[in-house]
Amino acid sequence: METTRNSYYINRLLWLLLTLLPIAILPFKGLPSIFVSVKAPLLSICSIAILVFLIREKTKLKGLEIKLLLLYLGVVFIACLAAHKPLLALSGASQTAGRFEGFITLFFYAVIFLAARNHFVINRKNLFFYLTVQGVVASYSIFQFYGIDPLVHYLNFSKGCYSTIGNQNFFGSYVVTLLTLSCGLYIMDRRPQTLLLCVIFFGGLLACNTRGCWLAFLVIMVASLFFLFKEGVIKPYLTLFFCFTLAALTMNFTGQNLIMGRAMSIDEQISMEDEAGSGRVQIWKMTLKAIGDNPILGSGPENLKEHFIRTNNEGFIAYQKRTGKTVDKAHSEILHIAAVSGIPAAIIFILFLTTLFWHKRRILFNFNSSTILAMCITVYFLQSLFNISIITVAPLFWVLLGVFSRAKTIKQSEFQSKKVISSPS
């Protein structure tokens, strides 16, 4: 199929957005956030430009998953109108609240999904350039793990391994998704440079100390054995396992047993004690109370904190007294959707994801490019059960969803001989 000029620009803009969004920061004092201040405008500009080209290309909206996505957008929009602060719900930000994840940003995600579904071309050159750039981001977190940070710490930020993302949990969701992608590619191509990227991303995952992401990747590693034993390609898997074990032992030994200590505390992540897992269970309980207050339309995007304040939520007040911090997200993505947009919105979103996997059910169990994408989406979803969505990482998730939703797939036997890895059918 001949590529049109509009499709060409859409593809370029998607690559530009994916590459620049994680690394773009403004390390200057006086800004509201050195991490988000530049990322939000970058996402907006690229998404609007992509939307213009999609309209000019007359991209068709066909398929059950598209209808479910549009329905989801419609329900969220209605929830915005009924929110405590409608403008905050629509824009996602104000001078005192919001993380730029209101309805407008969700609409941008939908635009990115459609663009990736219909116009994203993945070739070896672009893919490995992208992964190499993101490998630099992951390497920065490893430097931070060893106390080396010339770019951020001088601004008196709290020490941590968050690279250019700005938060260890957010960085964890980003790096575990790329780690899963690079591992799948290594099993496909078995190239040394791909293996190196896998080790770098794994080092970044260890450095971030995010237990939910560790658990998500562990689940994927165990589940992938089913596919690999069936396909008889266990050798590259064992190579990855050996390299990851060596990297973990090295970082733990040189990092004063920090990784082992964090790993031994994973039981706190799944404990039912209120203060476990950084207080997540307590946050989930107060969020469930908020869902009970507004089960149909929720409190409105970016209005969860406002709802806690207006209703004098007991859990919110107790958490604030105990930690000195406030809560504006549920720290569990599906739970958060139900809290801010209503239970129907959460159900529709789950149906949207389920539909994508249902359409691929016949080919997922034969190791191929769709299997890799399914694992990337699954690992992101699993960690999101303990994490929140942010504009730095979510676009990658929606691009993966868009590419996954295509009918075409590449088998392992075809991978090494193809210059173009994935393109619209």
pLDDT tens column, 231-246? 778 899 999 999 999 9
pLDDT tens-digit map of 304-349 = 999 999 999 999 999 888 888 889 999 999 999 999 999 999 999 9
Distance CA 350, CA 83 (A): 22
151, 127 Cβ separation under 8 angstroms:
no
Q: How far is Cα 26 from Cα 38, in angstroms, rounded to an integer?
A: 7
Which residues make Cβ contacts (< 8 Å) with residue 355, sequence separation at least 6? 64, 65, 68
Name the H helices within 58-167: 64-81, 86-91, 103-119, 124-145
pLDDT at 258: 87
Q: Which residues contact 182 (CB under 8 A, 6 or more apart)?
A: 131, 194, 197, 198, 201
Q: Model pTM?
A: 0.93
Tell me the C-alpha to C-alpha distance, in Å, between residue 278 and each of 59, 92, 275, 331.
Answer: 44, 25, 6, 10
* pLDDT per residue as tens digits for the range 113-136: 999 999 999 988 999 999 999 999
Residue 15 is predicted with a pLDDT of 97
Cβ-proximal residues to 394 (8 Å cutoff; 6+ apart), any chain: 101, 109
Residues 6 and 22: their CA atoms lie apart, in Å, by 25
- Dist CA 243 CA 347 (whole Å): 40
Percent of the chain with pLDDT over 70: 90
- Summarised one tens digit per residue, pLDDT across range 29-48 is 777 677 888 899 999 999 99
189: its two tokens: 């191509």
User: Which one, of 165, 57, 39, lies nearest residue 111 by Cα?
Assistant: 57
Q: CA-CA distance, 186 to 62, in Å (whole number)?
A: 34
On whether the CB atoms of residues 103 and 297 are closer than 8 A, the answer is no
What is the rounded CA–CA span in Å between residue 266 and residue 78?
39
Specify the length of the chain in residues: 425
3-state secondary structure of 125: helix
CA atoms of 249 and 261, how far apart (whole Å): 13
Q: Which element (helix H / strand E) includes 117?
A: helix 103-119
Encoding tokens for residue 219? Answer: 């689940």
pLDDT of residue 364: 83
| Structure tokens that stand for 181 in this block | 């992608």
Q: What averages of pLDDT result for each successive group of 10 residues across the chain (425 residues)?
A: 84 97 83 81 97 94 94 98 96 84 97 96 93 96 90 66 90 97 94 97 95 94 84 88 96 91 70 56 93 96 95 91 89 96 98 95 85 95 94 96 83 61 70
List Cα–Cα distances, 215 to 130, 261, 273, 343, in angstroms: 26, 15, 19, 27
